[in-house]
Amino acid sequence: MTATPDLGTARLASPDLLRSTFRRHAAGVAVITARGASGPVGFTATSLASVSAEPPLVSFGIGTGASSWPAVAEAGHVGVHILGEHQSELAATFARSGADRFGAPTVWREGPEGVPVLDGVLAWLVCRIVGRVPAGDHRIVLAEVVLGDPSGAGRPLLYHQGRFNGLRD
């Protein structure tokens, strides 16, 4: 038997309603990187999605007020990094405003197309940006995969209830 929702507790649409709802949705954690005019930029994303296999396309959202947005708005390519459960501190660093995201202890190198590539991740991709779609106070970035490496070991990092978590069996 399925429980019937209590429609008497329903709330009108608001940013808080959306945030409260999606805190209950476990999402994989990625870091998106790009080369900016004054150096590498990056941010933590839980909006990463596979869009198409042919051609291989991914998407992610980025706020237009984010410090990384000006670089992503101009970049031709981005790096997409799937984080492992051992990388909650890295995820927190790339999520924190004002953090030195590419300073120690972050380990990275310049990859193809000048994209910053993070070490120790479960998988990484270098993607060519093919579109930036306005979506409220964000942009949905569509990017075609150019190359990557899915061979990292470990289990994925998840974001749930406002915290970074690992999978449980």
- Between the two ends of the chain, the Cα-to-Cα distance in Å is 26
* pLDDT surpasses 80 at 142: yes
Q: Do 58 and 49 contact (CB within 8 A), yes or no?
A: yes
Q: What is the pLDDT of residues 75-107, one digit of tens each?
A: 999 999 999 999 999 999 999 999 999 999 999
Whether the CB-CB separation of 158 and 165 falls below 8 Å is answered with yes
The closest alpha carbon to 105, from 120, 122, 83, 126, belongs to 120
- What Cα–Cα distance (Å) separates residue 104 from each residue in 57, 89, 140, 147? 32, 12, 30, 26
Average pLDDT over residues 143-153: 97
27-151 sits in which CATH class?
mainly beta
The secondary structure of 49-74 as a DSSP string is EEEEETTEEEEEEEETTSTTHHHHHH
Which residues make beta-bridge pairs with 137? Answer: none
Extract the tokens encoding 104. 């120690």
pLDDT tens digits, one per residue of 32-68: 999 999 999 999 999 999 999 999 999 999 999 999 9
Residue bearing tokens 């994209």: 115
The pTM score is 0.92
Residues 6+ apart with CB under 8 A from 14: none
Between strands 27-28 and 30-36, the pairing is unpaired
* 133 DSSP β-pair partners: 140
